[in-house]
Amino acid sequence: MLLFSNYHFVSLYVTRLVPCCYSSPAEMSFLLMSFLAGAMKIRQKSRKWRQQYGILLNLEKYADAKQVAEALFNVLNEENFVGHEAESAADFYRNKSQYFDAILLYHVAFKLYELQNKQRKVLDGVKECAWGTELVVYDMKVKKQPGHRSVVTHYVLPLMSEMKQSMKLANVEDPDHKASQIASCKHYIEVVKTLQSKQKRNRPHLHKGCQLM
């Protein structure tokens, strides 16, 4: 069931990032399987970094945790992994309630997307990373993840603000699309802040990926 879920998510990434006029069903299927394979390789390759990252977050060494994320980003970038592969891996860990692993890979996916900031649709990818991060925060709060408030305050919110700033600086020709994606990112940040304030809030979001259908 989990494999199907990831297959569905990655198929949405392919649809979002590849113009339909250039992709036959066979080409789309090939890209889909390539992205799944890439996400699986990232899960395998990132094990050492995920372990270090989790330890550092638990110790509240957030600057050091950020350095681990940057090191993993550099490794994956050098090996030509792309944003949607890392994002799919992050979704996998969020679905398994491995929240620190998910945050790490949403962070890395965002940085990989950022490399392609001249492509209009990559804004969608950065926004999805912000959404996925917000969903992680919600799940950590519901499941009472130990130490989650400190992690969110000192690491997650600054990361999401960095995502928003990156979107503002993106060089795209469609200002309406850019404004819409930035507004979505701002909304996710406000949701996280509300969750941090201990106020009860009905979360109005669909499951990640549904709005792309």
- pTM to 2 decimal places: 0.80
- The answer to whether residue 12 scores a pLDDT higher than 70 is no
- Residue 208, pLDDT score: 53
Domain boundaries, the chain: 2-212
- The answer to whether residue 162 scores a pLDDT higher than 50 is yes
Non-local (6+) Cβ contacts of 110 within 8 A are 83, 125, 126, 129, 130, 159, 162, 163, 166
- The answer to whether residue 16 scores a pLDDT higher than 60 is no
Beta-carbon neighbour count of residue 80 at 10 Å?
Answer: 8
Tens of pLDDT, residues 185-200: 999 999 999 998 864 4
Q: Are 107 and 159 in contact (CB under 8 A)?
A: yes
* Helical packing angle, 83-95 and 99-114, nearest 10°: 170
- Residue 116, pLDDT score: 78
- The answer to whether residue 129 scores a pLDDT higher than 80 is yes
Q: Are 120 and 165 in contact (CB under 8 A)?
A: no
